[in-house]
Amino acid sequence: MIFRVYVNFKKGILDPEAEAIKQTITSMGYKPITNIVKGKFFDIEVDTNQDYFSQIEKISKDLLSNPVIENFKIIKK
């Protein structure tokens, strides 16, 4: 079973990297691009028959993201 955890900055938090990427793309001539949001994902492979969702949730909260500035979202792949 594979869980995918998405982590990205909360809305309103400055993401200087996304800003720099957007500027670069614009300067490369891709005019219609209006916004870029950046994030990370983790594919976590779990070898168990149990439902492991709540554990993944805990890992996401404690380790993979910082709740002060980031949100996460888990999907089962």
Contacts with other proteins by CB under 8 A lie at 9-10, 12-17, 19-21, 23-24, 27-28, 63-64, 66-69
CA distances from 64 to 9, 41, 50, 61 (A): 12, 9, 22, 6
Cα-to-chain-centroid distance, residue 38: 7
Identify the residue among 11, 14, 16, 47 touching its own copies (CB under 8 A).
47
Q: Least CB distance from residue 77 to its own copies, whole Å?
A: 11
Q: Least CB distance from residue 59 to other proteins, whole Å?
A: 11
Q: Least CB distance from residue 56 to other proteins, whole Å?
A: 16
DSSP class of residue 58? H
